[in-house]
Amino acid sequence: MHHNTGLADEQRQGVVNLLPVLLADKYVLYTKTGNYHWNVVGPQFHDLHQFVEEQYNALNEVGDDMAERIRTLGGPAIGTLAEFTQPTHLKEHPGHYPKAHQLLANLQDDHERLIRQLRGDAEMCAEEFQDMGTHDFFIGLMLQHEKMAWMLRSFIEGTSA
């Protein structure tokens, strides 16, 4: 079906090509965060368990928004584990259950990776594709990930290594 929203098909397709990678990254981070939530141990168990659960729940909401943005622009939203593991920039470590300090650092690194990706993709949406809607969407996501990274850094700074 034809889209008459002010973007040429080439512009819209350029943006649609960016979104599945971010959706895959988000789902890998969501899964990693859930894994850490389930497997956290140590003297700060209760606080960390709740803290990581809050981030896990927030990431769940972001995924739905990303898939809907893809569909809004006319693309298919990837939705299987096999599809999520192909384009992602993030690394999983099956069978590895780090101590509290390291799991927080791992999550912080992943959020900061997403922030850098979102920053570049937002710029591309505005300058190359003239899609200010997706630019704004990416900026909003970037702000969410910046806040999560800040919270992780703050938690790390308050713990011993």
**2 within a domain of the structure (yes/no):** no
**113 within a domain of the structure (yes/no):** yes
CATH classification at residue 79: 1.20.1260.10
**1 within a domain of the structure (yes/no):** no
**80 within a domain of the structure (yes/no):** yes
Does residue 153 contact residue 108 with C-beta atoms inside 8 Å? yes
**82 within a domain of the structure (yes/no):** yes
pLDDT at 160 over 60: no
Count of structural domains, the chain: 1
**4 within a domain of the structure (yes/no):** no
Which pLDDT does position 1 carry in this prediction?
59
Burial 128-160 (b: 16+ CB within 10 A, else e): ebebeebbebbeebbebbbebbebbeebbeeee
Which pLDDT does position 137 carry in this prediction?
96
User: In angstroms, what is the C-alpha Rg of the chain?
Assistant: 17
- Residues 122-152 have pLDDT tens digits of 999 999 999 999 999 999 999 999 999 999 9
Which pLDDT does position 159 carry in this prediction?
60
- Residues 71-97 have pLDDT tens digits of 999 899 998 988 898 888 898 888 888
**15 within a domain of the structure (yes/no):** yes
- Residues 27-73 have pLDDT tens digits of 999 999 999 999 988 888 899 999 999 999 999 888 889 999 999 99
pTM score, two decimals?
A: 0.90
The two tokens of residue 56 are 């896990």
| Domain extent at residue 131 | 9-88+97-157
